[in-house]
Amino acid sequence: VTKVVNAPVGMGFVFAGDSLKARILRPVALLALKRLLNPSGSKVVFENDDDLREMVRIGAVRRDAAVLIRGAGVDIERYAPAPEPTGVPVVLFAARLIWEKGVGVFVNAARILRAQGVEARFLVAGGVDHESSSAVPESQLRDWEAEGTITWLGARRDMARVIADCNLFCLPTHYREGLPKVLLEAMACGRACVATDAPGCREAITDGDNGLLVPVRDADALARAL
């Protein structure tokens, strides 16, 4: 093999997590990236400029071998603009249910708004992740439902319909995203988004234009933006 294309879609849990496991794996992953990501005759495709610049900075990728392609896009016939639902506003979070995706911050923001008397429904779409050590337990999701903070929709395959049934999409992730496809899907459906000012999200959202960006892990700022 003389020509290779490597395409990391985000830097993931190892570079976003603050657990002991993530901190131990990080230097090992960096060493592996420097050795394997950009061998002779290869190109490396990134989904956001933050990851591209960081990998060039640490010497894992040669600048002339780095290519930026902002995601794979979405099917705009399936994800098409739809009228917003009327009545009580609906805020949707949809992602892998791991802590780094910010579901805990989403729940805390919902609690803040509820305490302030803001009337809204907060939906969480996603199945229990049985493979990740950072998975949100089903018992926790059930507890949040029981306290009346969220409605858990579980795993859904009809995301175009789920997004159409919301007024606002929210992804307060601190995971090292590539380019979150779900943000593109939500915007293709004509929904404004609130997300974190983090790699990947910054590629999709222009703050104050098609959505708002908030600091990571800041439930107060997220509540204000929502």
Does 132 have pLDDT greater than 80?
Answer: yes
Does 12 have pLDDT greater than 70?
Answer: no
Tell me the pTM. 0.89
- The C-alpha atoms of residue 66 and residue 43 are separated, in whole angstroms, by 6
Does 16 have pLDDT greater than 70?
Answer: no
Does 76 have pLDDT greater than 70?
Answer: yes
What's the one-letter identity of residue 204? Answer: A
Question: Per-residue pLDDT tens for 165-217?
Answer: 999 999 999 988 889 999 999 999 999 999 999 999 999 999 999 999 999 99
Name the DSSP class of 214.
E
> Long-range contacts of range 24-30, CB-CB < 8 Å, 24 or more positions apart?
30/58, 30/60
End-to-end CA distance of the chain: 50
- Other C-beta atoms within 10 Å of 84: how many? 16
Q: Which pLDDT does position 17 carry in this prediction?
A: 64
Q: Which of 72, 30, 47 is nearest to 199 (CA)?
A: 47
- The C-alpha atoms of residue 31 and residue 193 are separated, in whole angstroms, by 36
